[in-house]
Protein backbone atom coordinates (compact mmCIF):
# COMPACT_ATOMS: atom_id res chain seq x y z
CA UNK A 1 0.00 0.00 0.00
CA UNK A 2 2.78 2.40 0.92
CA UNK A 3 4.66 1.49 -2.28
CA UNK A 4 1.57 2.29 -4.30
CA UNK A 5 1.17 5.69 -2.62
CA UNK A 6 4.83 6.46 -3.10
CA UNK A 7 4.52 5.71 -6.81
CA UNK A 8 1.51 7.99 -7.06
CA UNK A 9 3.45 10.79 -5.38
CA UNK A 10 6.47 10.39 -7.69
CA UNK A 11 4.29 10.15 -10.80
CA UNK A 12 1.76 12.79 -9.82
CA UNK A 13 2.14 14.74 -13.08
CA UNK A 14 1.67 11.71 -15.32
CA UNK A 15 -1.66 10.40 -16.53
CA UNK A 16 -2.53 7.02 -15.00
CA UNK A 17 -5.25 4.55 -15.86
CA UNK A 18 -7.07 2.84 -13.05
CA UNK A 19 -8.60 -0.51 -14.15
CA UNK A 20 -11.13 -2.57 -12.13
CA UNK A 21 -11.30 -6.33 -12.84
CA UNK A 22 -14.16 -8.65 -11.99
CA UNK A 23 -13.11 -12.22 -11.18
CA UNK A 24 -16.19 -13.57 -12.89
CA UNK A 25 -15.47 -11.82 -16.19
CA UNK A 26 -12.21 -12.10 -18.16
CA UNK A 27 -12.48 -8.62 -19.62
CA UNK A 28 -11.89 -5.48 -17.57
CA UNK A 29 -15.11 -4.17 -16.16
CA UNK A 30 -14.27 -0.47 -15.70
CA UNK A 31 -11.27 1.77 -16.25
CA UNK A 32 -10.58 5.32 -15.06
CA UNK A 33 -7.87 7.71 -16.20
CA UNK A 34 -6.63 10.40 -13.87
CA UNK A 35 -3.59 12.34 -12.70
CA UNK A 36 -2.37 11.85 -9.12
CA UNK A 37 -1.80 15.62 -8.92
CA UNK A 38 -5.54 16.22 -9.36
CA UNK A 39 -6.22 13.82 -6.53
CA UNK A 40 -3.84 15.73 -4.26
CA UNK A 41 -5.43 19.04 -5.26
CA UNK A 42 -8.83 17.60 -4.37
CA UNK A 43 -7.53 16.47 -0.97
CA UNK A 44 -5.95 19.86 -0.23
CA UNK A 45 -9.11 21.67 -1.31
CA UNK A 46 -11.27 19.48 0.92
CA UNK A 47 -9.03 20.20 3.92
CA UNK A 48 -9.12 23.93 3.21
CA UNK A 49 -12.92 23.86 2.91
CA UNK A 50 -13.26 22.03 6.23
CA UNK A 51 -10.91 24.54 7.91
CA UNK A 52 -12.93 27.49 6.57
CA UNK A 53 -16.18 25.88 7.69
CA UNK A 54 -14.84 25.32 11.21
CA UNK A 55 -13.60 28.92 11.39
CA UNK A 56 -16.99 30.30 10.33
CA UNK A 57 -18.81 28.13 12.87
CA UNK A 58 -16.53 29.20 15.72
CA UNK A 59 -16.49 32.87 14.76
CA UNK A 60 -20.08 33.67 13.87
CA UNK A 61 -22.23 31.07 15.63
CA UNK A 62 -22.83 30.03 19.28
CA UNK A 63 -21.20 26.68 18.54
CA UNK A 64 -17.93 28.03 19.96
CA UNK A 65 -19.52 27.98 23.42
CA UNK A 66 -19.58 24.19 23.23
CA UNK A 67 -15.82 24.07 22.83
CA UNK A 68 -14.60 27.13 24.74
CA UNK A 69 -16.10 27.81 28.17
CA UNK A 70 -14.38 31.20 28.51
CA UNK A 71 -14.90 33.67 25.71
CA UNK A 72 -13.28 37.08 25.60
CA UNK A 73 -16.45 38.63 27.03
CA UNK A 74 -16.55 36.16 29.93
CA UNK A 75 -12.91 36.83 30.77
CA UNK A 76 -13.54 40.58 30.73
CA UNK A 77 -16.55 40.25 33.04
CA UNK A 78 -14.56 38.06 35.43
CA UNK A 79 -11.71 40.58 35.45
CA UNK A 80 -14.16 43.40 36.26
CA UNK A 81 -15.76 41.34 39.06
CA UNK A 82 -12.38 40.54 40.58
CA UNK A 83 -11.36 44.20 40.37
CA UNK A 84 -14.55 45.25 42.20
CA UNK A 85 -13.96 42.65 44.91
CA UNK A 86 -10.39 43.86 45.41
CA UNK A 87 -11.63 47.47 45.63
CA UNK A 88 -14.27 46.47 48.19
CA UNK A 89 -11.68 44.63 50.28
CA UNK A 90 -9.39 47.67 50.15
CA UNK A 91 -12.25 49.90 51.30
CA UNK A 92 -13.04 47.44 54.09
CA UNK A 93 -9.43 47.36 55.29
CA UNK A 94 -9.24 51.15 55.13
CA UNK A 95 -12.46 51.49 57.13
CA UNK A 96 -11.19 49.02 59.72
CA UNK A 97 -7.92 50.94 60.07
CA UNK A 98 -9.86 54.18 60.57
CA UNK A 99 -12.05 52.55 63.21
CA UNK A 100 -9.05 51.18 65.07
CA UNK A 101 -7.39 54.59 64.97
CA UNK A 102 -10.57 56.23 66.27
CA UNK A 103 -10.86 53.74 69.11
CA UNK A 104 -7.22 54.19 70.10
CA UNK A 105 -7.69 57.95 70.07
CA UNK A 106 -10.84 57.70 72.19
CA UNK A 107 -9.28 55.35 74.71
CA UNK A 108 -6.08 57.38 74.92
CA UNK A 109 -7.92 60.67 75.30
CA UNK A 110 -9.54 59.65 78.59
CA UNK A 111 -12.46 61.54 80.16
CA UNK A 112 -12.06 64.68 78.03
CA UNK A 113 -13.58 62.79 75.11
CA UNK A 114 -16.86 61.91 76.81
CA UNK A 115 -17.17 65.40 78.35
CA UNK A 116 -17.29 67.04 74.92
CA UNK A 117 -20.83 68.16 74.12
CA UNK A 118 -22.16 69.87 71.02
CA UNK A 119 -23.52 73.12 72.42
CA UNK A 120 -25.43 73.90 69.20
CA UNK A 121 -27.71 70.91 69.75
CA UNK A 122 -28.74 71.76 73.36
CA UNK A 123 -30.84 74.61 74.65
CA UNK A 124 -32.19 75.53 78.10
CA UNK A 125 -35.95 75.65 78.53
CA UNK A 126 -37.34 76.60 81.99
CA UNK A 127 -34.08 75.58 83.60
CA UNK A 128 -34.14 72.05 82.13
CA UNK A 129 -31.88 70.62 79.41
CA UNK A 130 -33.69 69.86 76.16
CA UNK A 131 -31.98 68.19 73.19
CA UNK A 132 -32.14 69.90 69.83
CA UNK A 133 -31.51 67.65 66.79
CA UNK A 134 -29.76 68.49 63.55
CA UNK A 135 -30.06 66.48 60.29
CA UNK A 136 -26.39 65.54 60.19
CA UNK A 137 -24.80 65.99 63.65
CA UNK A 138 -21.14 65.32 62.90
CA UNK A 139 -19.32 68.21 64.68
CA UNK A 140 -18.16 67.94 68.30
CA UNK A 141 -17.72 71.23 70.18
CA UNK A 142 -16.62 71.45 73.81
CA UNK A 143 -19.07 73.40 75.95
CA UNK A 144 -17.83 76.69 77.36
CA UNK A 145 -20.60 77.29 79.92
CA UNK A 146 -19.78 76.34 83.50
CA UNK A 147 -23.33 75.25 84.33
CA UNK A 148 -23.57 72.88 81.34
CA UNK A 149 -20.16 71.36 82.02
CA UNK A 150 -21.01 70.90 85.71
CA UNK A 151 -24.30 69.14 84.91
CA UNK A 152 -22.57 66.80 82.42
CA UNK A 153 -19.81 66.01 84.88
CA UNK A 154 -22.42 65.08 87.51
CA UNK A 155 -24.24 62.78 85.07
CA UNK A 156 -21.05 61.21 83.78
CA UNK A 157 -19.68 60.66 87.26
CA UNK A 158 -22.63 58.37 87.96
CA UNK A 159 -22.41 56.54 84.64
CA UNK A 160 -18.67 55.95 84.56
CA UNK A 161 -17.89 55.31 88.19
CA UNK A 162 -18.62 51.57 87.90
CA UNK A 163 -17.99 48.84 85.36
CA UNK A 164 -20.71 47.90 82.87
CA UNK A 165 -23.02 45.14 84.07
CA UNK A 166 -22.71 41.94 82.03
CA UNK A 167 -24.10 39.63 80.86
CA UNK A 168 -27.01 41.52 79.40
CA UNK A 169 -29.63 40.98 76.72
CA UNK A 170 -29.14 41.41 73.00
CA UNK A 171 -29.57 44.98 71.70
CA UNK A 172 -32.57 43.85 69.62
CA UNK A 173 -34.71 40.82 68.85
CA UNK A 174 -33.35 38.76 65.98
CA UNK A 175 -31.43 35.70 64.85
CA UNK A 176 -27.68 35.32 65.21
CA UNK A 177 -26.46 34.66 61.65
CA UNK A 178 -22.70 35.15 61.91
CA UNK A 179 -20.43 34.82 64.90
CA UNK A 180 -17.22 36.41 66.13
CA UNK A 181 -14.32 35.49 63.81
CA UNK A 182 -11.39 37.95 64.02
CA UNK A 183 -9.20 35.64 61.93
CA UNK A 184 -11.41 36.49 58.94
CA UNK A 185 -11.80 40.16 59.83
CA UNK A 186 -15.22 39.77 61.48
CA UNK A 187 -14.81 41.49 64.86
CA UNK A 188 -18.40 41.17 66.04
CA UNK A 189 -21.67 39.30 65.59
CA UNK A 190 -24.48 39.75 63.06
CA UNK A 191 -28.07 39.70 64.28
CA UNK A 192 -30.61 39.37 61.46
CA UNK A 193 -33.90 41.17 61.98
CA UNK A 194 -36.59 43.10 60.13
CA UNK A 195 -35.66 46.38 58.51
CA UNK A 196 -36.31 49.30 60.87
CA UNK A 197 -36.17 47.29 64.11
CA UNK A 198 -34.97 49.55 66.99
CA UNK A 199 -31.73 48.57 68.73
CA UNK A 200 -30.73 49.54 72.28
CA UNK A 201 -27.61 50.38 74.22
CA UNK A 202 -26.28 47.36 76.10
CA UNK A 203 -24.65 49.52 78.82
CA UNK A 204 -24.47 53.07 80.13
CA UNK A 205 -22.13 55.35 78.21
CA UNK A 206 -21.70 58.30 75.89
CA UNK A 207 -21.80 58.56 72.11
CA UNK A 208 -18.27 59.42 70.98
CA UNK A 209 -18.62 59.08 67.23
CA UNK A 210 -21.11 58.48 64.43
CA UNK A 211 -20.51 58.41 60.69
CA UNK A 212 -21.67 57.07 57.37
CA UNK A 213 -19.38 54.63 55.56
CA UNK A 214 -19.72 53.10 52.11
CA UNK A 215 -19.18 49.57 53.43
CA UNK A 216 -21.12 49.66 56.72
CA UNK A 217 -23.75 52.37 56.31
CA UNK A 218 -24.57 54.26 59.51
CA UNK A 219 -22.13 53.42 62.32
CA UNK A 220 -22.43 54.48 65.99
CA UNK A 221 -19.73 54.31 68.69
CA UNK A 222 -20.60 54.34 72.40
CA UNK A 223 -17.90 54.60 75.06
CA UNK A 224 -18.46 52.91 78.41
CA UNK A 225 -16.45 52.70 81.60
CA UNK A 226 -13.58 50.23 82.00
CA UNK A 227 -12.11 51.34 78.61
CA UNK A 228 -14.90 49.59 76.74
CA UNK A 229 -16.50 50.68 73.46
CA UNK A 230 -19.47 49.20 71.60
CA UNK A 231 -19.90 49.67 67.85
CA UNK A 232 -23.20 49.32 65.98
CA UNK A 233 -23.06 49.00 62.16
CA UNK A 234 -25.45 48.79 59.18
CA UNK A 235 -28.02 51.01 60.92
CA UNK A 236 -30.88 52.43 58.86
CA UNK A 237 -31.12 55.48 61.10
CA UNK A 238 -29.56 56.83 64.30
CA UNK A 239 -31.45 58.52 67.13
CA UNK A 240 -28.38 59.58 69.13
CA UNK A 241 -25.69 62.12 68.35
CA UNK A 242 -22.09 62.69 69.34
CA UNK A 243 -21.94 63.85 72.96
CA UNK A 244 -25.28 62.28 73.96
CA UNK A 245 -25.39 60.42 77.28
CA UNK A 246 -27.11 57.03 77.00
CA UNK A 247 -28.23 54.60 79.66
CA UNK A 248 -28.68 50.88 79.30
CA UNK A 249 -31.79 50.16 77.23
CA UNK A 250 -31.94 53.52 75.45
CA UNK A 251 -32.90 53.37 71.76
CA UNK A 252 -29.85 54.19 69.65
CA UNK A 253 -31.38 53.79 66.20
CA UNK A 254 -32.93 51.25 63.84
CA UNK A 255 -31.30 48.30 62.13
CA UNK A 256 -31.19 48.24 58.36
CA UNK A 257 -29.52 46.98 55.21
CA UNK A 258 -27.12 49.86 54.60
CA UNK A 259 -23.58 49.59 53.25
CA UNK A 260 -22.28 47.43 50.41
CA UNK A 261 -20.98 44.85 52.89
CA UNK A 262 -24.51 44.14 54.12
CA UNK A 263 -26.28 41.03 52.81
CA UNK A 264 -29.68 41.81 54.34
CA UNK A 265 -31.39 43.67 57.20
CA UNK A 266 -29.34 43.09 60.34
CA UNK A 267 -27.32 44.73 63.10
CA UNK A 268 -23.57 44.20 63.42
CA UNK A 269 -22.38 44.59 67.02
CA UNK A 270 -18.76 44.86 68.14
CA UNK A 271 -17.36 45.13 71.68
CA UNK A 272 -13.83 46.48 72.17
CA UNK A 273 -11.87 46.76 75.40
CA UNK A 274 -8.45 48.41 75.62
CA UNK A 275 -8.31 48.38 71.82
CA UNK A 276 -8.86 44.59 71.62
CA UNK A 277 -11.99 43.10 70.02
CA UNK A 278 -14.06 40.98 72.39
CA UNK A 279 -16.49 38.16 71.58
CA UNK A 280 -19.95 39.70 72.14
CA UNK A 281 -21.39 36.27 72.94
CA UNK A 282 -19.34 36.35 76.17
CA UNK A 283 -21.23 39.49 77.25
CA UNK A 284 -24.74 38.83 75.91
CA UNK A 285 -27.53 36.43 76.76
CA UNK A 286 -30.62 35.68 74.70
CA UNK A 287 -33.55 37.37 76.38
Contact between 222 and 201 under an 8 Å Cβ cutoff? The reply is yes
Q: Residue 256 belongs to what domain range? A: 117-285
Give residue-wise pLDDT tens across range 87-116.
Answer: 777 777 777 777 677 666 655 554 433 333
Q: Is residue 128 part of a domain?
A: yes
Record the pTM.
0.50
Q: Beta strand 188-192 with 217-224: parallel, antiparallel or unpaired?
A: unpaired
Phi, psi of 225 (to 5 degrees): -70, 175
Query: Are residue 125 and residue 232 in the same domain, yes or no?
Result: yes
266 and 144 in a common domain? yes
Q: Which of 11, 32, 60 is the last residue of a domain?
A: 60
- Classify the C-alpha dihedral 102-139-259-194 as positive or negative: positive
Q: Is pLDDT larger for residue 135 or for residue 30?
A: 30
Q: Choose from 10-19, 58-67, 85-94, 173-182 the range with maximum mean pLDDT.
A: 173-182
Look at residue 161 and tell me if it is in a domain: yes
Sequence-separated contacts (24+) of 147-154 with Cβ below 8 Å:
148/117, 148/119, 148/122, 149/115, 152/115, 152/117, 152/245, 153/115
Look at the chain and report how many structural domains it folds into: 2
| Residues 125 and 53 reside in one and the same domain | no
Note whether 147 and 37 are same-domain residues: no
Which CATH number belongs to the domain containing residue 265 in this structure?
2.70.70.10
Query: Do the domain assignments include residue 90?
Result: no
Assess if residue 100 is contained within a domain: no
Helix (H, G, I), strand (E, B) or coil at 108: helix
**Same domain? 28 vs 134:** no
Quick one: residue 83, left, alpha or beta (phi over 0 = left, psi -120 to 50 = alpha)? alpha
Model confidence over 195-231: pLDDT tens digits? 999 999 999 999 999 999 888 999 999 999 989 999 9
Same domain, 137 and 45: no
Query: Among residues 258, 259, 255, 238, which one has the least CA distance to residue 135?
Result: 238
Is-contact 107 232, C-beta < 8 A?
Answer: no
Q: Which has more pLDDT, 158 or 151? A: 158
Judgement on whether residues 20 and 133 belong to the same structural domain of the protein: no
Whether residue 171 is contained in a domain is answered as yes
Amino acid sequence: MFDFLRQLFHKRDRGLTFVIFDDREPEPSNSYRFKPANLLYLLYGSLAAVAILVFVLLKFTPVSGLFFSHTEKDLREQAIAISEQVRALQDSLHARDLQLAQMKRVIGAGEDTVFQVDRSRRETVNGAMKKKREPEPFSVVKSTTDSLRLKNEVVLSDIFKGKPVFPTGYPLDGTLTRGFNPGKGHFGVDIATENGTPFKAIADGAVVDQNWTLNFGWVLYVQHSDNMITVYKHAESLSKSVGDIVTKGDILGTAGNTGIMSSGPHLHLEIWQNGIPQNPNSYLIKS
